[in-house]
Amino acid sequence: MKYIDEFRDPELAKATLDEISRITTRHWVMMEICGGQTHSIKRFGLDQLLTKDIELVHGPGCPVCVTPLEQIDKALAIASRPEVIFTSYGDMLRVPGSGRDLFAVRAQGGDVRVVYSPLDALKIAHDHPEKEVVFFAIGFETTAPANAMAVAQAKLMSLQNFSVLVSHVRVPPAMHAILGSSANRVQGFLAAGHVCAVMGYWEYPPVAEKYKVPIVVTGFEPLDLLQGILKTVQMLEAGRFGAENAYTRVVTFEGNKPAQAILKKVFKECDRKWRGIGTIPMSGWCLSDEYAQYDAESRFDVSAITPEESPICIAGEILQGLKKPPDCPAFRVLCTPQNPLGATMVSSEGACAAYYRYDNPNVSQGD
């Protein structure tokens, strides 16, 4: 398939792997930010082929995984109301809240619908004026512009029966949180290519500067990932830091200006809780004052829902790159994709799900 196969070329992959081995003189720890990158690494077994001196740790960039428990519980409460049609991306339906998930709400009679775009939710609202239609707006900078667009459209259309349950998160504050932690081991970042397609990478030079790390914008296909790793190793070996781009076919420094403009108009930065990590200051987006009327939390008065997580799984440490899925005693034993203890096992982008699906439990992975 054009534009895919070229970036899965075995010969070029081997040449890049050899070059990484050749220039690596010591052990380096780097984090891929995005869950999509984690899955590519495991799906193509890149970690098996890389020199053992390169240690990849998996970052918090799985939108489903980091959506906090309280937002899930709020979603469950709203979706259970008889007047509500609750719309969501598919993979949120299986994320466990305190007692159940959205699939269970649907099985118990709630009107929960999978949509492929927030604009589909708008259409449902338009077609069902007698219902309250709520869209679960989660995700990073990648999904936020389309969700912002849906809210802006709702206002233009004067749709009164549409609202959004917002749980958007931003990458740069999470990088600050990881690099600023006393337990941090990360020496370089593979920045998330899709996030940067929207935001550019103008936000990253100050982060690189402050913590003296290389940050390399990286794509998702095997060759993209290897190119990102190679560039990061080159910078680490040369003692260089800064933000560079190994995904130039998609990402520019400035990013997508119209997308950034709609984000700025509809959302404002706010503190946000990350599942498994905690509250990171100014790491989220909330509706701006101009669009506050579309906030499902205030419309359905669910702000009092503040559940506590019970300390069973280690998703938090995994999302920060401190531990890996096999370090968890519950991994593969109590915790499986059909019975997930934590969000990192639920989402197709979660690190635990990636290890579960692609690693052979009978073979040591050498990490």
Partner 1 sequence: MSEKDPAVDMHGAVCPVPLQQKSTIVIGHGSGGKMMHDLISEVFIPAFGNPILAAGNDAGLAPAGSNSHYAISTDAHVVKPLFFPGGDIGKLAVCGTVNDVAMLGAIPKYLAAGFILEEGLDISILSQVVQSMRESAEEAGIQIVAGDTKVVEKGKADGLYITTAGFGEIIPYPHPIGGQHAQPGDRVILSGTLGDHGIAVLGARGDLGFESDVKSDIAPLNHLIHAILQVSDKVHVLRDPTRGGLATSLNEIAKQSQVGIILDEKTIPVKPAVQSACEMLGFDPLYIANEGKLIVICAAEDEEKVLATMRKTDDGQQAIAIGEIITDPPGRVLMKTLIGSHRVVDILAGELLPRIC
Site for partner 1 in 108-167 (CB under 8 A): 108, 114-117, 120, 138-140, 142-143
- According to DSSP, the residues that pair with 120 across neighbouring strands are none
Nearer to partner 1, 274 or 299 (CB): 274
Secondary structure of 249-312 as H, E, C letters: CCCCCCCCHHHHHHHHHHEEEEEEEECCCEEEEEEEEEECHHHHHHEHHHHCCCCCCCCCCCCC
Q: How far is CA 64 from CA 113, 242, 333, in A?
A: 17, 29, 22
Nearer to partner 1, 45 or 129 (CB): 45
Stretch that binds partner 1, among 25-33, 77-85, 154-162, 275-283 (CB under 8 A): 275-283
Lookup: tokens for 350: 């979660």
Nearer to partner 1, 128 or 357 (CB): 357
Among 38, 42, 266, 286, binds partner 1 (CB under 8 A): 42
Among 22, 160, 206, 306, binds partner 1 (CB under 8 A): 206
Q: Judged by CB under 8 A, how many residues of this single chain contact partner 1?
A: 105
By the rule CB under 8 A, 45 interacts with partner 1: yes
Helix then strand count (H, E) for the chain reads 17, 11
Nearer to partner 1, 212 or 357 (CB): 357
Nearer to partner 1, 194 or 299 (CB): 194
Among 107, 157, 238, 292, binds partner 1 (CB under 8 A): 107
By the rule CB under 8 A, 19 interacts with partner 1: no
By the rule CB under 8 A, 329 interacts with partner 1: no
Which DSSP helix (H) or strand (E) runs through 215? strand 214-218
By the rule CB under 8 A, 238 interacts with partner 1: no
Q: Which residue has the tokens 């604009």?
A: 119
Stretch that binds partner 1, among 64-72, 160-168, 231-239, 290-298 (CB under 8 A): 64-72
Stretch that binds partner 1, among 21-29, 160-168, 256-264, 348-356 (CB under 8 A): 348-356
By the rule CB under 8 A, 46 interacts with partner 1: yes
Q: How far is CA 103 from CA 97, 141, 308, in A?
A: 11, 26, 22
Among 29, 104, 152, 250, binds partner 1 (CB under 8 A): 104
By the rule CB under 8 A, 310 interacts with partner 1: yes
Q: Which is it for strands 278-287 and 162-169: parallel, antiparallel or unpaired?
A: antiparallel
Half-sphere exposure at residue 90, Cβ-oriented, CA atoms within 13 angstroms: 3
Among 101, 111, 224, 244, binds partner 1 (CB under 8 A): 101
Phi then psi dihedrals of residue 275, to 5 deg: -60, 130
Nearer to partner 1, 103 or 238 (CB): 103
Report the C-alpha gap between 153 and 147 in whole angstroms. 10
Contact 68, 342 (CB under 8 A): no
By the rule CB under 8 A, 313 interacts with partner 1: yes
Phi then psi dihedrals of residue 166, to 5 deg: -95, 130
By the rule CB under 8 A, 288 interacts with partner 1: no
Report the C-alpha gap between 172 and 177 in whole angstroms. 9
Stretch that binds partner 1, among 25-33, 155-163, 181-189, 229-237 (CB under 8 A): 181-189
Nearer to partner 1, 41 or 216 (CB): 41
How many C-beta neighbours within 10 Å does residue 301 have?
Answer: 10
- Least distance to partner 1, CB of residue 301, Å: 23
- Least distance to partner 1, CB of residue 142, Å: 5
Lookup: tokens for 355: 């290890």
Nearer to partner 1, 47 or 244 (CB): 47
Lookup: tokens for 172: 């740069």
First to last CA, the chain: 33
